[in-house]
Structure 1
Amino acid sequence: MNLKDQSTECPHCGHHIHVILDDSNGDQDYFEDCPACCNAIHIMFHLNESAEKLEFQIQAE
């Protein structure tokens, strides 16, 4: 298991949050609730293996 810690802000309230990403399962697309405002956050990430880069994106839902 290869865990990555990603810092970001909630798109609803701006609260600073940490998201733990497990890139061992490939690309992921899921929802997680903000611990501060409880609104759903759409989390998407893609592991670009050729560039060895994790592409991370969040959206308000």
Structure 2
Amino acid sequence: MHDELSYVCDHCGEEIVIPLDLSQGSSQEYVEDCPVCCSPNVIHVEFDEEFDAEPRCWAEPE
């Protein structure tokens, strides 16, 4: 089971590690400021709760 995921900030290119919160559902979207450059990113997280598939995480600029 995965506890963390990572995405690359679209603004500065840094890889950011975030916790995986299973309680928020299998398809999540939220805005988070990059801890390096402070620019806002829309974070997308998807995973299949029934299968042991690799979770996906990516970011887009807000």
Same fold by TM-score, threshold 0.5 exceeded? yes
Higher relative contact order (CA 8 A, sep 6+): 2
Q: CA-atom RMSD, angstroms? A: 2.0
5+ residue gaps, structure 2, are: none
5+ residue gaps, structure 1, are: none
Q: Which structure features the higher share of strand residues?
A: 1
Instruction: Give the TM-score taking structure 2 as reference length.
Output: 0.74
Establish whether residue 4 from structure 1 lines up as the match of residue 8 from structure 2: no
Give % identity. Answer: 35
Q: Which runs of 4+ in 1 moved over 6 A?
A: none
Please report how far the alpha carbon of residue 52 of structure 1 lies from its aligned counterpart in structure 2 after TM superposition: 2.5
